[in-house]
Structure 1
Amino acid sequence: MTNHHATARLTRRDLLTAASAGILAACSNTPAKTASRLERGGARGVLAPYVERGEVPGMVALVARGDREELHAMGTTAQGSRVAVEPDTIFRIASITKPVTATAAMMLIEDGKLGLDEPVARLLPELAHPRVLERLDGPLDRVVPAARAITVRDLLTFRMGAGLLFDPDRYPIEKVTQELLGDGMPAPAKLVAPDEWMRRFATLPLMHQPGERWMYNTSGIVLGILVGRAARMPLDAFLRERLFGPLGMHDTDFSVPASKLHRFTASYLADPGTGALSLYDSPNGQWAQPPLHASGAEGLVSTAPDFLRFSRFLLGRGTFGGKRLLSEAAVEQMTHDTLTPKNKTFGAMVPGYFDRHGWGFGMAVVTARDDDHMPAGSYGWDGGLGSSWYADPRTNTTGILLSSRSWTDPSPPRMFREFWRHVHA
């Protein structure tokens, strides 16, 4: 019992710190045991050793430069399995859900069902009268009224005033938030229904004034609930109708149907000290049935070819297959840094991250070439269960790496860093 809880606490804090920092994180049928025969060169040459050493059971890497694609599937769908990872293997993409949810919100703004700068209280009356802690580390009953309303823009830019602090021992508000809403790990089977989630969330004070500071994760969940209410249908249904269907993303959803479970991976957590893997979720686990609450922050599964379609839609400035799904102006807003220097002053962030990065709508934006050679103007995000996606509009390049191993160390995982350095070498 003690070891289980210690592990859960560590993975929640470290896994999500890694994801929040944006640290970086189609073709072979070769199982892991024969990885030594994999051809060398390209992304395969960079990544195959991680499969050979057993550090990751399986992964798919995709690099698209214009119409040219390099796609490699490596390893197996689970430890000890003989089922090879294929180009269409399905992975949990966790926080890469966030830019998808932001896209849904922008569609509703263009439909006239939401206003970018309107208060969210019109559709989320639970947030009509927000209160704010006097001190972030203070008692929950020491609050002041919010200086202004929370807006749709605040949710898109993660400036609503609530988010993960990664230190419940220091901050009473985070400890109570975990007790009411969960510990932050992607866990669809444990989420309460959206209306009940909002009811519980509204009992808590905000951590900062609306618009004051960037804070990770919570805005994505609230945005997903807002999308559902504005669309008058659940978030997952709206995405299937307006985005996944038109883009041909037929393997992207918030659960995996029985007919596709043979293509779904197991998910593993890595011990930060030894690197040993422990099972987090099996293919027949939490994503094997539709959730009560499709989380706009972390709930999606997808494939590399599917997500390439989403990336090309953004690189196409809102068009795909000759059809416009979103205006060019909306994509411009989504993919440019929206944060002020004050917004970026957040002590729980990995130090120095915002020196070269910013935040658009639901995704990170590179503001100056970073240590992994990611060029300025690139945008994308990472998922703490082992995924990473970024696009460079200047060169029309997309990189996608989906794996079955999470990371728990707040420093960049070497496998992901080497992949991105290959992409942008």
Structure 2
Amino acid sequence: METNPTGAGFSKNKLDRLRIHLQEHYITPQKIPGCRLLVARRGCVASSLTLGLMDLERNLPMRDDTIFRIYSMTKPITSIALMMLFEEGRFQLSDPVAKFIPSWSAQRVWVEGSGEAMTTRPPKTAMTIQHLLSHTAGLTYGGLLPGMELPVDAAYQRAGVTRTGSDTLESLAEKLGSVPLLYEPGARWSYSLATDICGYLVEQISGQPFDEFLKKRLFEPLEMHDTDFCVPDSALSRFAACYVRGADKRLQLQDDPLESPYRYRPTGPSGAGGLVSTMADYAKFCTMLVGNGNYNGLQLIGRNTLKLMTQNHLGTKSLAQMAVGGFSETSNEGVGFGLGFASTIDAVASGTVGEGDFYWGGYASTHFWVDPAEELFVIFMTQLIPSSTFNFRGQIRNIVYGAIDESA
């Protein structure tokens, strides 16, 4: 990929620190197998790096077209899809979720205790679609993510809630409707399976299967040909292996691409974390975002709708004040959350730069951010679980913003 750091308003020498930093601190000591990094600003690609290996066991080099598990970087895509229906007048953010999933009208809220001794009560506030999109609905991950043990986890397990994709979206919704909410809708923030329900709402409201809707309304217009819920055999040679960091700090294979469940289409495609994608594909999604919803002359989502999605929907509070349980590799101070995206609302409190950006990341240490004021987006792809292992986002941000050259 041809790069033009000067045309993008960067100091080439300072931007070169990205390669040096990643190679010296992560690739050479094998803290990660390999990675891809893209920096684009003002419509120009400033830096495009392809480093290390995508498969240590087979000694396969990282490719420009490597396919990655993007996990929760699926969430912004699902959120955009649902808000496309909002723009068609098909629902209001204030609509109760029970309007579309009637069984959810019987939900209860956890008060205290666990198991048979658990005390619950009816919610005082109806859960809305806005609550789902902003992770303030009272749902959780039900113990499916390490480090997020919560009082209602056992209820999720008794209901048979899993992340395998073996349930249809409808059956997953019915299961989630039977578990108690962790808190009153709107009262707190908890990273959760809510975006899977957003995917189900896309199905319910549009009348199309969720994966088909994404393909027709987003992936085809954006020319995201390698983004899907499974990897076809014809593309298997480009699918990266995924790793975890062992107790000895060495990489251990977590998911072999040849034996991966991603080789098979799931019964229920996860809008919260089920997609695979490439750098080129996700760059097209980010190009649309930095372009106020426009891609190659197609207005896929309205500028005002996107602005609404990237504002802080936690009122005057930050995630540090609202969040229950850990979910991020970085501090929650000065960070707000909108409809599918986090945002830096106070750079001083967060100890970072890029206030006014919006972003998210994935479980295997992938991340992206968009800075509308700088006309900038950055995408980092690797395959290391969990994302909290290293603070790639903070390190890369500092180098990227420090490399902006005001004289360029």
Give the TM-score taking structure 2 as reference length. 0.86
CA distance in 2, matches of 1:140, 1:328: 49
Q: Which residue of 2 is the match for residue 4 of structure 1?
A: none
Per the TM alignment, residue 416 of structure 1 is displaced from its structure 2 partner at its CA by 4.1
Moved more, 368-377 or 344-353: 344-353
3-state SS of the aligned residue for 1:128?
Answer: helix
CA distance in 1, matches of 2:169, 2:37: 34
Amino acid at match of 1:277: L
Per the TM alignment, residue 101 of structure 1 is displaced from its structure 2 partner at its CA by 0.7
Q: Which residue of 2 is the match for residue 339 of structure 1?
A: 314
CA distance in 1, matches of 2:206, 2:242: 32
Q: Which residue of 1 is the match for residue 400 of structure 2?
A: 423
CA distance in 2, matches of 1:140, 1:312: 51
Per the TM alignment, residue 321 of structure 1 is displaced from its structure 2 partner at its CA by 0.6
- String of CA shifts for 1:142-194, please: whole Å, max 9, x gaps: 111111221111111111111147689974411331453456xxx5x454221
1:114 aligns with 2:91: yes
Q: Which residue of 1 is the match for residue 78 of structure 2?
A: 101
Per the TM alignment, residue 141 of structure 1 is displaced from its structure 2 partner at its CA by 4.3
CA distance in 1, matches of 2:308, 2:148: 37
Aligned counterparts, 1:7-406, within 5 A: 26=1, 41-49=16-24, 50-69=26-45, 70-135=47-112, 141-164=118-141, 171-182=150-161, 187=163, 189-271=164-246, 273-284=247-258, 285-340=260-315, 341=317, 344-349=321-326, 353-369=331-347, 373-406=352-385
Q: Does the 8 Å CA contact 1:136/1:208 hold for their aligned counterparts?
A: no
3-state SS of the aligned residue for 2:58?
Answer: coil
Residues 169, 374 of structure 1: alpha-carbon distance in 2 compared, 3 angstrom cutoff? closer
3-state SS of the aligned residue for 2:353?
Answer: coil
Per the TM alignment, residue 248 of structure 1 is displaced from its structure 2 partner at its CA by 0.9
Per the TM alignment, residue 42 of structure 1 is displaced from its structure 2 partner at its CA by 4.1
Amino acid at match of 1:108: L
Amino acid at match of 1:217: S
> How many pairs align?
382
Per the TM alignment, residue 303 of structure 1 is displaced from its structure 2 partner at its CA by 1.0
Per the TM alignment, residue 86 of structure 1 is displaced from its structure 2 partner at its CA by 1.3
Amino acid at match of 2:374: T
Q: Does the 8 Å CA contact 2:161/2:175 hold for their aligned counterparts?
A: no
Amino acid at match of 1:95: S
Q: Does the 8 Å CA contact 1:140/1:173 hold for their aligned counterparts?
A: no
CA distance in 1, matches of 2:77, 2:51: 26
Residues 52, 27 of structure 1: alpha-carbon distance in 2 compared, 3 angstrom cutoff? farther
CA distance in 2, matches of 1:72, 1:136: 51
Q: Which residue of 1 is the match for residue 405 of structure 2?
A: none
> Unpaired runs of 5+ in structure 1?
1-25, 29-39
Residues 136, 244 of structure 1: alpha-carbon distance in 2 compared, 3 angstrom cutoff? farther
- String of CA shifts for 1:238-270, please: whole Å, max 9, x gaps: 111101111111111111111111111011111
Q: Which residue of 2 is the match for residue 5 of structure 1?
A: none
Amino acid at match of 1:368: D
- String of CA shifts for 1:304-346, please: whole Å, max 9, x gaps: 1111111111111111111211111100011111103387433
Per the TM alignment, residue 295 of structure 1 is displaced from its structure 2 partner at its CA by 0.7
- RMSD, matched Cα: 2.6
Per the TM alignment, residue 97 of structure 1 is displaced from its structure 2 partner at its CA by 0.8
